[in-house]
Structure 1
Amino acid sequence: MDKVFILNKLKEHYNFKSNSDFARFLGVNPQNIRNWYKRNNYNANLLIEKCTEINPEFIITGEGAMIKENNQNEDLPVKNYSTGVPYYNVDFIGGFDIVLNDQTITPEYLIDFKEFNKATCWCNITGHSMEPEINHGDIVALKEIEDFSFIPYGEIYAIITKNDMRTIKRIGPSTNPDNYILIPTNKGYEYGPQELPKKYILRIYQVLGSVKRF
């Protein structure tokens, strides 16, 4: 069996330009990859563990469909390295400023999910105020709103204020036309609606959706 062919197909699928890129993805030394090519052999268990959207049969035998059938479904999110929306392994509440302030930061990977491919980015979310709609540990698709002079009510937004507070809440109308009401989904006693003056908003993102981290 030509395992070099299989290795090349995997590199092509993930758009890896070098063995070093491939090694970094797998968490091994680049010399391991060179040895695999030299010996026409590899660690199939490692490839199956790391290449989650690849059909294990293809990795072991080189036969059958390369991509798992469920990953060909546009209704499922797929981790990718060539197409999709950037995923940053940071928490919106506690680390998103790195994404905003450092233009050189590179995403962990891309998420190709047709339903949310209009997003600006994906990131992590912590906290319980929006449960059960958005759960602690989920990743969320955010679409930046450049002009927030008009914000449709009833949708969920990720908000950054001028004093560097961050929150994800549903926005509703206030009796004060200069304010919004931030509404949590969680009905627990420790959560409740809050007034937010519109003038305090620095940046705002529409939350297009969320998925379990994968």
Structure 2
Amino acid sequence: MKQRLIQLLKAKHMTQTEFARHLGVTPTYIGAMRKGMPKERLKVVFDLFPDVNRDWLMYGEGEMLVASDDESPDLSKGYVVPMLPVEAYAGCLQQWSRGVMLRDCEKVVSPVPGVDFGIRITGDSMEPEFKDGSILFIKRINEKAFIPWGHPMVIDTENGVVVKVIYPAGDSVVLPDCPMEYIEARSYNPAYPPFLIPTESIYGLYRVITGIRQYSTI
């Protein structure tokens, strides 16, 4: 089961450290597994990944993922995705992940396919491209493989969530006894200066696929 769980996390582009936060355990938990995990933690796994095949994860039978009703959405209604109950720049995705499961989220209709979540933006730092109160439709990327520099991203950090256009910060910024790699976060609004974010404080990067001001929920 341990090897299948590792395989699942790779397929979902989720690190073991991030998965451990969802589970409420230490990052070494998976490595220490011998047979399986308690029922209460299995429930968290299935809530976190509702499309995982339970028989595959527990017994190695069948395919990893099962078909979901959302995989063939009604094009007349758009593409239905979970609306995260936090705000970019005002909330923290890790707080959401511990408190609310995807099945409990409000649903929002995306105008385009290939989107993981919707999230509301707060403030005017990304105007005129994204107005205060806009809904951004975002998709998780594997930052270990490729980062689309120069594109707007929702950045989940240990200090909260921001939406910014990201660029490489160049050479490492060295603090006393603590070398770190940084990315530079820029706003569209010139009134807001750019700032640096240490990569080790980033939990996840989500590319902004599109954004709308008015939206429909179900």
TM-score band w.r.t. shorter chain: 0.5 to 0.7
Report whether the alignment pairs 1:165 with 2:164.
no
Alignment correspondent of 2:109: 111
SS at match of 2:104: coil
In structure 2, the CA distance between the partners of 1:131 and 1:198, relative to structure 1 (3 Å rule), is same
| Count of residues paired in the alignment | 132
Structure 1 residues 84 and 73, CA gap change in structure 2 (3 angstroms): closer
- Note the 1:83-102 alignment, pairs <5 A: 84-97=80-93, 99-101=96-98, 102=100
SS in 2 for 1:192: coil
In structure 2, the residue matched to 1:127 is 123
Unaligned ranges ≥5, structure 2? 1-73, 173-180
The answer to whether the 8 A contact 2:155-2:202 is kept is yes
For the aligned residue pairs, the C-alpha RMSD in angstroms reads 2.6
Instruction: Structure 1: state its 5+ residue gaps.
Output: 1-71
The partner residue of 1:175 within 170, 179, 182 is 170
The letter of the residue matching 1:122 is G
The alignment's TM-score, normalised by the length of structure 1, stands at: 0.54
Q: Per the alignment, do residues 86 and 174 of structure 1 end up closer, same or farther by CA in structure 2, a change over 3 Å counting?
A: same
In 1, the alpha carbon distance for the partners of 2:171 and 2:138 equals: 27
**In 1, Cα distance between equivalents of 2:196 and 2:84:** 30
What secondary structure is seen at the aligned counterpart in 2 of 1:136? coil
Note closer, same or farther for the CA distance 1:192–1:95 as it changes in structure 2 (3 Å cut).
closer
1:165 and 1:99, CA in 2 relative to 1: closer, same or farther beyond 3 A? Answer: closer
Work out the percentage of aligned pairs sharing the same amino acid.
25
Using the size of structure 2 for normalisation, the TM-score is 0.53
Q: How does 1:146-161 map to 2 (within 5 A)?
A: 146-161=142-157
Aligned residue in 1 for 2:44: none
Structure 1 contact 137–213 (Cα < 8 Å) conserved: no
Q: How much has 1:95 moved relative to structure 2?
A: 4.1
1:108, distance to aligned residue in structure 2 (A)? 2.0
The answer for the alignment partner of 2:203 in structure 1 is: 202
Say yes or no: does 1:187 pair with 2:190.
yes
Aligned AA for 1:156?
P
Report 1 or 2 for greater relative contact order, CA contacts < 8 Å, sequence distance ≥ 6.
2
